[in-house]
A and B are shown apart, each in its own frame.
Chain A
């Protein structure tokens, strides 16, 4: 079955640590996205990638970094510069950036908690 796999489902980070959230898709989609979801805040865009080896900052990119070396993979690193990283992180994809107008496919999310 085609879909998006996010791992791990739950992640705990100590203050000052960098952590990387994995996002893999087997849908052959060109475009991929990272959103952060906080209670009462909705989905906020962190980074997106229209194509391999290309990515753009979203609305809340500070303290995060991404790479897009393979079409299937779009990992997100939460760095120690992100002051309030506890949140639910969602990865999504669309066939292309233009066809995102037809909606995204989302993964099941990673819940990150700072301990």
Chain B
């Protein structure tokens, strides 16, 4: 079983839809959780950071961590064509390099 599982998609939604992106993980020691957005042929950029369980909101984006289920989510409200990208989850125990999911490719259709 891989440490971090993420459905690669592709996921295609109409403009204005609510998007839900998810990752599951097996290592209960993970405490620090991140979401990155990567446009085609570019490097990933940090979108959201969350420590331990709970929710964090930033504009149209909400990151959610459920440590009891080993499950993290990223919600995008009022999705826009400019949100079309690959979204990568990443996590860390705190003293090791980040472990990344495979990424989910999202297309928002105008």
Contacts and interface: CB of A to CB of B under 8 A. Distances in A.
A109 B43 contact: yes
A87 interface: no
B90 A103 contact: yes
A42 B32 contact: no
A26 interface: no
Interface in A2-33: 4, 6, 33
| 8 pairs of A and B residues whose beta carbons are closest in the complex | A106-B43, A42-B102, A101-B32, A43-B100, A103-B46, A108-B43, A103-B34, A106-B44
Interface string B4-23: 00101000000000000000
A45 interface: yes
Interface of A: 4, 6, 33, 35, 40-43, 45, 48, 58, 88, 90, 92, 97-98, 100-109, 111
Interface residues of B, number: 25
Contacts, number: 56
Interface of B: 6, 8, 31-32, 34, 36, 41-46, 49, 51, 88, 90, 92, 94-95, 97-98, 100-103
Contacts of B41: 88, 109, 111
A39 to B, nearest CB: 9
A103 B100 contact: no
Nearest to B6: A42
A58 B92 contact: no
A92 B100 CA distance: 13
Nearest to A47: B97
